[in-house]
Structure 1
Amino acid sequence: MRLLPLMGALSLVAACSGEGSAPKAVVNDVHPVQVYTVQRESLQRTINAVGTVRFRRETPLGFTTAGKVATVRFEEGDTVKRGALLAALDTTNVGADVSVATAERDRAGSEFERVRSLYADGWITKARFEAAEAALKAADARVRQAGFASGTAQLYAPSNGVVLSRNVQSGQVIAAGTPALILGEGDSGFIFRVPIIDRDATKLRVGMAAEISIESLASGPIQATISEIDGRANEATGAFTVQFTLPSNSKLRSGQIGTANIKLPASEDGSLQIPASALFGVRTGEGLVYVVNSKNKVETRNVAIERLTDEFVIVSGGLQPGDKIVTSGLEKLRPGSKVRAIQAAR
Structure 2
Amino acid sequence: MILQDERRTPKRRPFRNLLAVASAAVLLASCGGGEEAEAGGPGGRGGPRGPTQVGFVVVKPGSAAIQQSLPGRVAAYQVSEVRPQVSGVILRRLFREGSFVRQGQTLYQIDPSVYNAQAAQAQAALQSSRATAEAARTRASRYRPLAEMEAISKQEYTDALAQARQADAAVAQSAAALRSAQIDQRFTRVPAPISGRISLSNFTEGALVTANQADALATIARLDPVFVDIQQSAADLLNLRQALARGGTAPTTAQVRLKLPDGSYYGYSGTVEFSQVLVNQETGTVTLRARFANPQSLLLPGMFVTAEFAQAVNTAAFLVPQQAVTRDPRGNATLFVVGPGNRAVQRVVVADRTQGTNWVVTQGLAPGERVITQGLNNLRDGAEIRPVPASAPQRLRPPGVGAAGANANRTGR
Larger proportion of helix: 2
Q: Which residue of 2 aligns with 1:127?
A: 162
* Counterpart selection for 2:326 from 273, 277, 282: 277
Q: Is it true that 1:339 corresponds to 2:376 in the alignment?
A: no
Counterpart mapping for 1:173-252 below 5 A: 173-175=210-212, 180-183=217-220, 190-191=224-225, 193-194=227-228, 203-204=252-253, 222=267, 224=268, 226=270, 229-233=272-276, 238-245=286-293, 252=297
Rg larger in structure: 2
Q: Is the 8 A contact 1:31 1:340 kept in 2?
A: yes
Task: Give distance in 1, aligned partners of 2:200 and 2:297.
Answer: 21
| 1:163 counterpart letter in structure 2 | R
Q: Percent identity?
A: 15
Q: Which residue of 1 aligns with 2:198?
A: 164
* Counterpart selection for 2:186 from 118, 132, 151: 151
Q: Is it true that 1:255 corresponds to 2:255 in the alignment?
A: no
Q: Is the 8 A contact 2:344 2:380 kept in 1?
A: no
The 3 A distance-change label for structure 1 pair 258 and 342 is farther
| Two-structure CA RMSD over aligned residues (Å) | 5.5
TM-score calculated relative to the size of structure 1 = 0.57
Q: Secondary structure at the match of 1:339?
A: coil
Q: Is the 8 A contact 1:234 1:240 kept in 2?
A: no
Q: Which residue of 2 aligns with 1:110?
A: 131
Runs of 5+ unmatched residues, structure 2: 1-41, 47-51, 144-155, 241-249, 391-413
Q: Secondary structure at the match of 2:353?
A: strand
Task: Give distance in 1, aligned partners of 2:370 and 2:45.
Answer: 15
Runs of 5+ unmatched residues, structure 1: 1-27
Deviation at 1:319, TM superposition (A): 0.9
Task: Give distance in 2, aligned partners of 1:69 and 1:295.
Answer: 95
The 3 A distance-change label for structure 1 pair 304 and 66 is farther
| 2:169 counterpart letter in structure 1 | A
- My pick for the range that moved more, 294-303 or 316-325, is 294-303
| 1:151 counterpart letter in structure 2 | R
Task: Give distance in 1, aligned partners of 2:327 and 2:261.
Answer: 40
Deviation at 1:94, TM superposition (A): 3.6
TM-score calculated relative to the size of structure 2 = 0.50
Task: Give distance in 2, aligned partners of 1:102 and 1:294.
Answer: 102
Q: Is it true that 1:101 corresponds to 2:147 in the alignment?
A: no
Q: Is the 8 A contact 1:212 1:259 kept in 2?
A: yes
The 3 A distance-change label for structure 1 pair 232 and 43 is closer
Deviation at 1:149, TM superposition (A): 2.3
Q: Deviations over 1:52-92 (max 9, x none)?
A: 8999x756364583545725433541244776421244546
Q: Which residue of 1 aligns with 2:49?
A: none
The 3 A distance-change label for structure 1 pair 295 and 171 is farther
